[in-house]
Amino acid sequence: MECRLIRDETQMEGLADGWRALQARIGLAPFTDYDMARLWWQHIGKPSGAALLVAACFDQGKLVGVIPFSIRKKHGVRVLRLLGNEIFYYANFLVANARVAESLWAAVLHDRSYDFANIKNIHNNTPEYAFFTTRFRVFRASPAYYVAHSGRAREAVVASLPKTLRRTIKRLDGAIAAGDGIEMGQTTTQDIPEDVLAFLMNRKRGWAQEKGKTGIFDEANSTALFEAMIHFTAARGAAVLFWLREAGRPVCATLGFIEKSVVYAHMVAFDQSAAKHSPGNYLTAQELIWASENGYGETNFMEGHDDYKAAFTKTARITNEFIVSRSWLGKIYYLLYKGLSLYRYSKSKLRSHKDI
């Protein structure tokens, strides 16, 4: 078996067929797919001046493992993260077995092209977890909430939700049925209303600015990236959007991506003018109902604790974050990163959470 660290975009393109084959065989989330990595690199990574690093393992010429990364400078420090770290959730990694996983990660963590590595989405009871925990301490553990489905009909899904959510559903169901100016729409095709897509992007960016959050929506091409991701997945029947209109204009929208039997609840945005309806909760419930009635096995809320997610389920997998410093600059950056993380955590605990 041979493992390589690929830093050239053209060489990454040469992996496309083998990468897609691995995704089809063992990928659990759409975010590990070659084409999603390609879209992120074209819209965010390359324009930002990031360096590309793709770890690839071959067995007798066949691709048996691939994990993409990007290296971006932060305050002069070269920081390595999983490619698309800010918006992608790696439910698993495209590695054929534990031996491949160990070889890939060893190659990456011995590389000297970065100062500081921030690796997330290392799930308990996986080859990656075994590799990291024998070498490093867990920096932070987070829940990845999910709802398991078993083909339940709408009534059964609604009955499983807390009373406050059931009231929200009943109230908005009644308003929609009565024609009180509120309408719901849904699509799994490329027939996505332009005003809904624009609302989703603009409102999500506005929310990030209001909360003082930095990340994907600070990127100049973030809207173009999401539009490309949505249209690419919708063309394959692997995206689902729900929206609410009030007086004809969008006031809430949710976006989900689909891989095999799992729906990934990726994004929700709502207008404060509609907050009294709890529209985000309502549409998320509709997404759960839709997934269950259409035979999907799970709705996954991805990494991170959020009172909104916990309102729908208490079931979660544990995903871990690890930190690796490769230079004295990396060690200094680690101390700053740790302090900032503790500050953000304490701030989030003090912040009141509004019902969406």
Q: What is 20-47 written as a DSSP string? A: HHHHHHH--SGGGSHHHHHHHIIIIIHH
Residue 157 and residue 122 share a domain: no
Residues 201 and 64 occupy one common structural domain: no
pTM (predicted TM-score):
0.94
pLDDT score, position 208: 85
Same domain, 221 and 282: yes
Number of structural domains (the chain) is: 2
Cβ-defined contacts of 267-272 (< 8 Å, 24+): 267/200, 267/204, 268/308, 268/356, 269/199, 269/200, 269/203, 269/204, 269/207, 270/203, 270/356, 271/199, 271/203
Q: Among 341, 34, 42, 40, which Cα is nearest to 216's?
A: 40
Q: How far is CA 331 from CA 74, 96, 193, 208, 270, in A?
A: 14, 33, 48, 29, 40
Output the pLDDT for position 347.
61
Which residue spans within the chain are E strands per DSSP? 2-6, 51-59, 62-74, 77-82, 94-95, 116-123, 140-148, 182-187, 239-246, 249-259, 262-270, 298-303, 316-325
Q: What is the pLDDT of residue 142?
A: 95
- Angle in degrees, CA 261, 264, 265, rounded to 5: 140
172 and 276, same domain (yes or no):
yes
User: Do 157 and 216 share a domain, yes or no?
Assistant: yes
* CATH code, domain carrying 287: 3.40.630.30
Does residue 310 fall inside a structural domain? no
Residues 231 and 123 in one domain: no
Report yes or no: 341 and 138 within 8 Å, Cβ to Cβ: no
Q: What is the pLDDT of residue 147?
A: 98
Q: What is the pLDDT of residue 215?
A: 85
Looking at the fold, whether 115 and 23 belong to one and the same domain comes out as: yes
What range defines the domain where residue 172 resides? 150-296
Predicted pLDDT at 355: 38
Mean pLDDT in order along the chain per 10 residues (356 residues): 96 98 98 98 97 98 98 96 97 98 97 97 97 96 96 95 96 94 94 95 90 84 96 96 97 98 97 94 98 98 89 96 96 90 63 42
Do 88 and 160 lie in a common domain?
no
Task: Please tell me whether residues 292 and 337 are part of one structural domain.
Answer: no
Question: Does residue 311 fall inside a structural domain?
Answer: no
Is 17 within the bounds of a domain?
A: yes
